[in-house]
Chain A
Amino acid sequence: SPTPCFRSRRPPRRRGCWPPPSAEPPTFPRVAVSGYSDCSQPFRLGERSFARQYAHIYAVRLAGMRPGLERRARSRWGNDVVLRRLSELQEGEKCCVVGTLFKSMQLQPSILQEISEEHNLVPQPPLPKYIQPSDELILEDELQRIKLEGAIDVQRLVTGTIVAVYGCEQDSGGFLVEDHCFADLPPPLPWSGPSSDRYVLLASGLGLGSVSGEALLSTQLLVDVVTGQLGAEGEQSCAAHITRVILAGNLLSQNTQSRDTINKAKYLTKKMQAASVEAVKMLDEILLQLCVSAWVWPGNGVPLGEGALFLSLGYRVAKPPSPAPFPFEHPIWGGRSQPSSKSFSRDPASSVKPSGVSGGKGAAVTPGLCSEPPWRARLIPLCLQTSVPVDVMPGEFDPTNYTLPQQPLHRCMLPLASAYATLRLVTNPYQASLDGVRFLGTSGQNISDIFKYSSMDDYLEILEWTLLAGHISPTAPDTLGCYPFYKSDPFILTECPHVYFCGNAPRFQSKLFQGKEGQRVLLVTVPDFSATQTACLVNLRDLSCQPITFSSFGADSEDGDMELEH
């Protein structure tokens, strides 16, 4: 089992946890980010045209994956296996056919059933799973389709998977399957990971804007751990090894998706503000803390270390006496005259210019800003070198487009945080190379959609299955919204990632998967933070992963500090 990061780095305990008063507080510079390259170009959509049918995406999916599947079929059933199209099938001849699966399910929600007024049917309520014993699998290629029977698990497979089946056609018209295979893992990428410990924090489902604020303290603790404001020197030195934070979707809670403006009368909703507006403001502040992460105790310029906990717990700061208003008169948020718990001022007196420059210069703190007593002070961003790069992926409930691939959140929604180059707004799915390690992941919509239409119950099992099937989300566009691509299907896996994750899973699971051609993939299901208060730390050196839970005021924790689980 991998050695836990924080435990192994803890220095020997001194008597008492506070350093002697005269000692200089130690600083732990964050490890420098050596290599980052964004590989999500196929998921970015420029000009969008929806004047197309989805036949194109299925055609390119089959045409793109057919050569790989034919190779796999030959290696599995012999080089002399007969490859036929459905139109060339002869009855009784054993052959191999490559095609797209279609599962016809009785319970699958269909728009036609909903609008059948003559039958007076009530629309079907959403179910956790839509599978039934009477479901059938049908194989389709470019021209024909045929029903599949035999050694193929109908309940487990989903529509849209490209599969090669081996068997023969029966006189009843169906195809009797003796064996089948999928595209299997794509070819491996060369490994050039770091030689020392580097961590990436994966978290998803922050769920801001929900009715209950239980997860807010845990979110604040998460931010404090990453920025090194929590814990003794051991934990702070560990936090300095976190090179990146990836937020995998569902930053906003499902509660922000109220459709009151559609259902209620206009005169009732005239002055209502969408719940997502407040939630995005909260998100902006949280991201700001991550992107600019050293805070100064005004008056003496000493970076906050261990004493920062009580300041981080987000109590209200009084309205500043100076007439300096909040800098933005933003068209969406308007001017903010009442700053929230952590306000900061871009007073021209301070020499910090956070206009997209990372690794900035130190600032001289002008005493004029700090005339209030210390606990009422405003926190002023000082040293930009300790900020952590944050990649923000949109999820199901976030204000971006619904269809996959989801485009990045627009930077005008995050006016405070998007000024810093450490914030990257990325697509869902997201692919990037961090320090030589290839990450690929989604916010979980693909996995949860397969969960609904398959008998597989375990999110990690489904994640592994999508890797073996060679496609990130086979159910798109059938049951999951997808852009009508025509040229190529960007969800086909062409290179094997080193870390493959999905967000918003019910619980944390991870597995190091070894492929036949030497591929090593770390599969991680990132749990929903608002429900489980758990995030994941991935060590890039040896592809190990451990959860980190921020339980607050639980039954067995003493003072709301962080806990580690293995």
Chain B
Amino acid sequence: MSRRAMEQPRRITDSFPRRRRRRCPGQPPGRLKNKKDKDKVQLKVRDCPLAPSQPSPDPALMEMLRRFDLSWEYGPCAGITRLQRWERAQELGLNPPGPIRDALLEHRDNPDVTYSLWHEYEL
């Protein structure tokens, strides 16, 4: 038996080559979230964030959503989804714009749309 096996316990995954997680172009800099997030399965190695089957949302729509995130009237945006923030603003009587909710429901499956601007960053 080799000495190496005695020093540390071997794992099944030792037989697979280790690969660094690659960042897709166009992603903002910062630490990637860890793999615990089930919804972000697409962000694993070799995958790009957008699923090819869905039409990519309008850049103007993304800009509108980003402005919704950054407007202070509706409260903090980090840590909750945009839809949760919209509904909270609605319940508090702050009158968030209706088209945002329609857009959020239409592109429900797209993590870039549902999650806020700061979602990729850790707490």
Contact = CB atoms under 8 A, between A and B. Distances in A.
Interface stretch (B10-18, B41-49, B73-81, B96-104): B73-81
Given A64-B92, A486-B88, A56 B80 contact: yes
A40 interface: no
Contacts of A53: 76, 78-79, 123
A63 B92 CA distance: 7
Interface of B: 72-73, 75-76, 78-80, 84, 87-88, 91-94, 123
Contact of A60 (B78, B87, B92): B92
Contacts of A179: none
The 8 closest A-B pairs by CB, nearest first: A52-B79, A59-B75, A55-B76, A63-B92, A487-B88, A486-B80, A56-B76, A59-B76
A486 B92 contact: no
Contacts of B72: 142-143
5 contacts: A59-B75, A142-B72, A142-B73, A486-B88, A487-B91
A409 to B, nearest CB: 30
Most chain A CB within a 10 A radius of its CB, from B72, B73, B76: B76
Contacts of A55: 76, 78
Given A486-B80, A487-B84, A56 B92 contact: no
Contacts of B80: 52, 56, 486
B79 A60 contact: no
A440 to B, nearest CB: 23
Given A63-B75, A64-B92, 17 more contacts: A51-B79, A51-B123, A52-B79, A53-B76, A56-B75, A56-B79, A59-B76, A60-B75, A60-B88, A60-B92, A63-B94, A67-B93, A142-B75, A143-B72, A484-B79, A486-B79, A486-B84
Nearest to A488: B91
Contacts of A142: 72-73, 75
Contacts of B123: 51-53
Q: Per DSSP, are chain A's interface residues mostly helix, strand or loop, or mixed?
A: loop
Contacts of A63: 75, 92, 94
Interface string A42-84: 0000000001110110011001100100000000000000000
Interface string A469-489: 000000000000000101110
Nearest to A57: B76
Q: How large is the interface on A (under 10, 10 to 19, 20 to 34, 35 or more residues)?
A: 10 to 19
Interface in A448-490: 484, 486-488
Interface string A90-114: 0000000000000000000000000
A55 to B, nearest CB: 4
A13 B78 CA distance: 72
A56 B92 CA distance: 13
A488 B89 CA distance: 10
Contacts of B88: 60, 486-488
A55 B72 CA distance: 12
Nearest to B75: A59
A63 B73 CA distance: 10
A486 B82 CA distance: 12
Contacts of B73: 142
Contacts of A488: 88, 91
Contacts of B91: 487-488
Nearest to B92: A63
Interface string A129-154: 00000000000001100000000000
Interface in A10-63: 51-53, 55-56, 59-60, 63
Contacts of A51: 79, 123
A343 to B, nearest CB: 48
Contacts of A486: 79-80, 84, 88
Nearest to A484: B79
Contacts of B75: 56, 59-60, 63, 142
B38 to A, nearest CB: 13
A335 B51 CA distance: 56
A143 B76 CA distance: 11
Nearest to B88: A487
Contacts of A52: 79-80, 123
A487 B92 CA distance: 9
A240 B75 CA distance: 53
Most chain B CB within a 10 A radius of its CB, from A60, A67, A143, A484: A60
A15 B97 CA distance: 82
A180 B79 CA distance: 34
A487 B94 CA distance: 13
A52 B81 CA distance: 11
Contacts of A60: 75, 88, 92
Contacts of B78: 53, 55
A56 B75 CA distance: 7
Most chain A CB within a 10 A radius of its CB, from B75, B84, B87, B93: B75
Contacts of A64: 92
Nearest to B85: A486
Contacts of B84: 486-487
A98 to B, nearest CB: 14
A106 to B, nearest CB: 28
A484 B72 CA distance: 19
A484 B93 CA distance: 21
A65 to B, nearest CB: 11
Contacts of A487: 84, 87-88, 91
B74 to A, nearest CB: 9
Contacts of B76: 53, 55-56, 59
B123 to A, nearest CB: 6
A51 B75 CA distance: 17
A333 B75 CA distance: 48
Most chain A CB within a 10 A radius of its CB, from B72, B79, B93: B79
A48 to B, nearest CB: 14
Nearest to A66: B92
Nearest to A59: B75
Contacts of B94: 63
Most chain B CB within a 10 A radius of its CB, from A52, A53, A63: A63
Most chain B CB within a 10 A radius of its CB, from A52, A56, A60, A142: A56
B95 to A, nearest CB: 12
Nearest to A487: B88
A339 to B, nearest CB: 47
